[in-house]
Amino acid sequence: MKPIEIAKDIYWVGAVDWNIRDFHGYSTDSGTTYNAYLIMDEKVTLIDTVKKEFVDELISMISQIIDPKKIDYVISNHTEMDHSGGLPRVMHKIGEDKPLYCSKMGVKNLSRHFQQKWNYQPVQDGGELSLGKKTLSFLETRMLHWPDSMFTYVKEDRVLFSSDAFGQHYAGPERFDDEIGGTIMPHAMKYFANILLLYSPLILKLVDRVKKLGLPIDMICPDHGIMWRKNPAKIINAYVEWATQKPRKKAVVVYDTMWHSTKKMAEAIVAGLSEEGVQAVPMHLRSWHRSDVITAILDAGAVIVGSPTLNNGLFPTVSDFLTYMKGLKPKNKIAAAFGSYGWSGEAVKLINKQLEEMKFELVDPGLKMQYVPDDQGIDACYQLGKKIGRALK
């Protein structure tokens, strides 16, 4: 691959991971990229590295611009291994004594990750670093999404290097928003739902803070996916909308099934919701990946969870999904539970307990049916769908 000059003397030198399909439990059906950036100035500066397996590509990209030994500074915006994994090779190549700038938490995290005594230069929130013609300014973004996370802003070019924020897991020939258009937004939404959702309150505060600082932004360069140069405000506004979590008239019926009874219940509930004008979809957990289900839930007003009772408990995929959803802390949802059972029937009670712990508003005590729902049972499911639909209005 060839480096791309994204602004005067600023280059994209990242790597494209076409084949990754599982990113720590998140299904990356379109692969991803690990974006790194090289600034050519009196002090040549590398911003972030790539996943360890792609470091040869990073070094090859840099070498097409300059001998990597001539890099003066390295900035680490984020210590997670998909951006820091290449650091040991890079530091070895450019000189272990070269200054490595990161947040205070970055120093701690990098030391724990790599056990190296690099020349760490912790930066302050709002601190600046002159590279010659260009000036970097640092913005700590703690817990967006790790304690070490920070942004780096190039004042003269109005370019924001935003680490994971505003990224997408997408590998393609495009590098910029104007090259791909609106089709990137579902990838950005999925990324938000699976990586950043639980930090929604912090995102709203950060956007406010950036607005108050009055930082003009011509381009946002995240560490994954395409860069936003045509309309950076589009992704900022989308983040505000997603972080606000205003419920739409939309319901997700997420379930698993053993002998199709819970499936029949799910589909009857969906029919009742649709009758009330609610956009509803049944999502079978062995047909839909948990990361796609949580994306669908992001802007839904209702979450209805179904599980058969298996060995006095929940079906394993339903437990998995509830654990995943609980960690991501979606807000402003109404909810209900359902499921079929043979003789003990604990599933509905167990789902209700978890939904309450997530602070979802239960609009019904839940519906359980023994063995196979008959016509009356299917109608009860349909009526439950209608009841939830009316509650969403």
In terms of Cα–Cα distance, which of 117, 109, 201 is closest to 149? 109
User: How many angstroms separate the CA atoms of 82 and 74, rounded?
Assistant: 16
Minimum Å distance from CB 83 to ligand FEO? 6
Closest to ligand FEO by CB, 83 or 333: 83
Under rule CB under 6 A, which residues in 335-364 are in contact with ligand FEO?
none
Is position 24 annotated as part of the catalytic site?
yes
The active-site residue out of 26, 191, 239, 255 is 191
Minimum Å distance from CB 184 to ligand FEO? 17
Strand-pair category, 248-255 with 300-306: parallel
Considering only residues 9, 41, 57, 82, which one is a binding residue for ligand FEO as defined by CB under 6 A?
82
**What's the Rg (C-alpha) of the chain?**
24
Using CB under 6 A, which of the segments 3-11, 63-71, 74-82, 270-278 binds ligand FEO?
Answer: 74-82
Q: How many CA atoms lie within 13 A of 333 on its CB side?
A: 27
Under rule CB under 6 A, which residues in 93-112 are in contact with ligand FEO?
none
Using CB under 6 A as the binding rule, whether residue 48 contacts ligand FEO is answered as no
Considering only residues 17, 41, 57, 80, which one is a binding residue for ligand FEO as defined by CB under 6 A?
80
Closest to ligand FEO by CB, 82 or 157: 82
Q: Which residues of 228-256 are buried (b: 16+ CB within 10 A; e: fewer)?
A: bbeebebbbeebeebbebebebbbbbbbb
Is position 78 annotated as part of the catalytic site?
yes
The active-site residue out of 17, 82, 140, 276 is 82
Q: Report the residue count for the chain.
A: 393
The active-site residue out of 145, 169, 187, 289 is 145
- Residue 233 token pair: 């405000």
Under rule CB under 6 A, which residues in 194-233 are in contact with ligand FEO?
223-224
The contact mask relative to ligand FEO for 159-198 (x = CB under 6 A, - = no) is -----x----------------------------------
Is position 11 annotated as part of the catalytic site?
no
The contact mask relative to ligand FEO for 143-162 (x = CB under 6 A, - = no) is --xx----------------
- The string of DSSP letters for 320-384 reads HHHHHHHHH---S-EEEEEEEESS---HHHHHHHHHHHTT-EESSS-EEEESS--HHHHHHHHHH
Closest to ligand FEO by CB, 243 or 355: 243
Q: For residues 281 and 228, is the Cβ–Cβ distance under 8 A? A: no
Per-residue CA distances from 198 to 145, 247, 324, 360 (Å): 9, 16, 11, 15
Is position 82 annotated as part of the catalytic site?
yes
Per-residue CA distances from 238 to 122, 186, 235, 332, 380 (Å): 32, 11, 5, 18, 38
Is position 260 annotated as part of the catalytic site?
no
Q: Which residue is nearest to ligand FEO (CB)?
A: 80
Using CB under 6 A, which of the segments 80-88, 256-264, 270-278, 333-341 binds ligand FEO?
Answer: 80-88
Closest to ligand FEO by CB, 81 or 281: 81
Is position 42 annotated as part of the catalytic site?
no
User: How many angstroms separate the CA atoms of 297 and 254, rounded?
Assistant: 10
Closest to ligand FEO by CB, 224 or 250: 224
Helices in the chain by DSSP H: which ranges? 55-63, 81-84, 87-94, 104-114, 177-180, 185-191, 200-213, 232-244, 261-275, 290-298, 316-328, 347-357, 375-392
The active-site residue out of 224, 239, 256, 341 is 224
The active-site residue out of 148, 157, 164, 276 is 164
Residues lying near ligand FEO in the complex (CB under 6 A):
78, 80, 82-83, 145-146, 164, 223-224
Q: Which residues participate in catalysis according to the annotation?
A: 24, 78, 80, 82, 145, 164, 191, 224
